């Protein structure tokens, strides 16, 4: 951990690899008058919108929509099976399992043609009181159980005993974006009315606890977190059905799930504060989490150590070293395909555009894990077997 003092505020960083644009955003965060105690930056840090991805920001009595992000509740889930990867015939893997997944789970911007049953949506909310969620109730029945694009993925993986695992990275789809954008604009308007000292160019408008709009955002954020879990759970359920048809006698352990874009009220350093995790994962002592690598590299099941310096947090992945555009413009598709095929990984790279999610666009996951040895303990190392990207 590296400790810096910026604008007379403490910043604790778990890497020496911070791009210039991310460092400027870190500096901006230290100017916030409601920043609590210190700022924590995870080893997968890279620039985001207003706040860097891989940042953990604790505040007194405010929530910042851009410190949560627009894919609210985005996260990981994983399931361990009782099947050995070496026992799966390649034609079964390619034709029955991978094709089956692509047939049943819409990828990228695609949605289900038919609305999914309401039982797959979050329960226990008064939808009439949720402005954005209410007007999107019809749409989200087509979105639940879909992967999305960007860095979202479905992977079949194997552990060091050759046991098959399923891992999914996905979030709240367009619902989270609509909620995030709506309340970010609302917060900006209110901050202007309040003559806030937070400069608009920082892109960090806030909602103050106690105001009506804070409560509105908080409830819609919670719904998005639950919706993202429902989304992952439905995809996992259907993948398990596909595997059960292809691999007779397969069994599944309970699903591990953890989000990495959200805000929560927690107690740290003797105070109840609002902790924003934007591309960061809860690593409270004993909490089981998931830290994925990039396409073609290892992922890790970890257990939190409860380090107070990180507000009990850890990284959410490897972290980008290239923008999507730079990756498309500079990375060699032939080298990427050769690397995946040399490892025997089933993939779907077809064009130069696919380089935006190539391994070369990301930090080395093993370096990231090594940098946070005081935040998590590795339980299981997983290697990719077959990859579906959004």
Q: Within a domain: residue 327?
A: no
In the predicted structure, residue 342 carries a pLDDT above the cut 90: no
Give the pLDDT score at 359: 82
The per-residue pLDDT of the chain, averaged, comes to 95
Count of structural domains, the chain: 1
- As a whole number of angstroms, the distance between CA 176 and CA 10 comes to 31
Give the pLDDT score at 283: 98
Question: Would the CA dihedral through 35, 229, 281, 307 be positive or negative?
Answer: positive
Tokens found for residue 218: 């908080």
Q: Within a domain: residue 356?
A: no
* Percent of the chain residues past pLDDT 70, beyond the cut: 100
Do residues 26 and 51 make contact, with C-beta atoms less than 8 angstroms apart?
A: no
Catalytic residue among 38, 46, 111, 316: 316
Do residues 65 and 207 make contact, with C-beta atoms less than 8 angstroms apart?
A: yes
Give me the domain span that covers residue 283: 2-321+362-389
Q: What is the mean pLDDT of residues 365-388?
A: 97
Q: Within a domain: residue 351?
A: no
C-alpha distances out from residue 108 to 68, 102, 149, 168, 346, Å? 22, 11, 4, 14, 19
In the predicted structure, residue 280 carries a pLDDT above the cut 90: yes
Q: What is the mean pLDDT of residues 1-25?
A: 96
Q: Within a domain: residue 339?
A: no
Region of residue 154 (left: phi > 0; alpha: psi -120 to 50; beta: else) = beta
pLDDT in tens, 136-180: 999 999 999 999 998 899 999 999 999 999 999 999 999 999 999
75 CB neighbour count, 10 Å cutoff: 26
- As a whole number of angstroms, the distance between CA 290 and CA 303 comes to 9
In the predicted structure, residue 361 carries a pLDDT above the cut 90: no
First to last CA, the chain: 34
Helix (H, G, I), strand (E, B) or coil at 214: helix
In which band, very low, low, confident or very high, does the pLDDT at 374 lie, cut at 50, 70 and 90? very high
In the predicted structure, residue 343 carries a pLDDT above the cut 90: no
Q: What is the mean pLDDT of residues 4-32?
A: 96
Give the pLDDT score at 360: 84
H or E element: which one contains 167? strand 163-170
Q: Within a domain: residue 24?
A: yes
Give the pLDDT score at 357: 85
- As a whole number of angstroms, the distance between CA 310 and CA 284 comes to 10
Q: Within a domain: residue 329?
A: no
CA 364-367-373 angle, 5° bins: 145
Give the pLDDT score at 327: 87
Query: What is the pTM assigned to this prediction?
Result: 0.95
In which band, very low, low, confident or very high, does the pLDDT at 238 lie, cut at 50, 70 and 90? very high
C-alpha distances out from residue 355 to 177, 281, 337, 343, 360, Å? 24, 26, 10, 18, 8
DSSP state letters, 22-34: HHHHHHHHTT-TT
Tokens found for residue 164: 């098959």
- Give the domain CATH number at 290: 3.90.1860.10
The sheet with strand 261-268 has its strands ordered as 2-6, 9-13, 35-46, 53-59, 271-278, 261-268
Q: Alpha carbon 65 to chain centroid distance? A: 16
Q: Within a domain: residue 255?
A: yes
In which band, very low, low, confident or very high, does the pLDDT at 192 lie, cut at 50, 70 and 90? very high
Give the pLDDT score at 180: 97
pLDDT in tens, 286-327: 999 999 998 889 999 999 999 999 999 999 999 888 888 888
Q: What is the mean pLDDT of residues 58-78?
A: 97
Dihedral angle over CA of 259, 260, 266, 271, nearest 10: 170
pLDDT in tens, 71-115: 999 999 999 999 999 999 999 999 999 999 999 999 999 999 999
- As a whole number of angstroms, the distance between CA 45 and CA 12 comes to 12
In which band, very low, low, confident or very high, does the pLDDT at 202 lie, cut at 50, 70 and 90? very high
152 noted as active-site residue: no
Q: What is the mean pLDDT of residues 341-350?
A: 85
Q: Within a domain: residue 302?
A: yes
């Amino acid at each position: 951990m590296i400790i810096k003092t910026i604008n007379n505020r403490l910043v604790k960083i778990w890497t020496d690899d911070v791009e210039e644009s991310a460092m400027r955003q870190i500096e901006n965060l230290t100017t916030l008058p409601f920043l609590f105690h210190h700022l924590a930056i995870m080893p997968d840090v890279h620039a985001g919108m207003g706040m860097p991805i891989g940042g953990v920001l604790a505040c007194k009595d405010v929530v910042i929509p851009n410190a949560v992000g627009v894919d609210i509740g985005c996260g990981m889930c994983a399931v361990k099976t009782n099947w050995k990867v070496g026992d799966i015939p390649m034609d079964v893997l390619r034709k029955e399992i991978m094709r089956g997944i692509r047939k049943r789970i819409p990828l990228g911007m695609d949605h289900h043609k038919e609305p999914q049953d309401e039982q797959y949506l979050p329960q226990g909310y008064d939808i009439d009181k949720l402005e954005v969620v209410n007007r999107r109730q019809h749409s989200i029945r087509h979105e639940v159980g879909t992967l999305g694009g960007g860095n979202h993925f479905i992977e079949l993986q194997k552990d060091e005993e050759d046991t098959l695992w399923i891992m999914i990275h996905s979030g709240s789809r367009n619902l989270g974006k609509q909620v995030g954008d709506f309340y970010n604009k609302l917060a900006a308007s209110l901050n202007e009315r309040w003559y806030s000292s937070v400069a608009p160019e920082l892109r960090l408008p806030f909602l103050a606890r106690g105001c009506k709009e804070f409560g509105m955002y908080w409830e819609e954020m919670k719904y998005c977190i639950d919706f993202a879990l429902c989304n992952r759970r439905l995809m996992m359920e259907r993948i398990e059905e596909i595997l059960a048809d292809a691999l007779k006698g397969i069994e599944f352990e309970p699903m591990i799930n953890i989000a990495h874009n959200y805000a929560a009220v927690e107690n740290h350093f003797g105070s109840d504060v609002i902790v924003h995790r934007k591309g960061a994962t809860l690593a409270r002592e004993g909490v089981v989490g998931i830290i994925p690598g990039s396409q073609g590299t290892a992922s890790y099941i970890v257990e939190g150590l409860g380090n107070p310096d990180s507000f009990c947090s850890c990284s959410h992945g490897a972290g980008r070293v290239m923008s999507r555009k730079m990756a498309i413009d500079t990375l060699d598709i032939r080298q990427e395909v050769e690397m995946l095929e040399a490892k025997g990984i089933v993939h779907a790279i077809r064009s130069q555009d696919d380089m935006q999610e190539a391994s070369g666009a990301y930090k080395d996951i093993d370096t990231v894990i090594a940098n946070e040895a005081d935040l998590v303990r590795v339980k299981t190392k997983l290697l990719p077997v077959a990859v579906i990207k959004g």
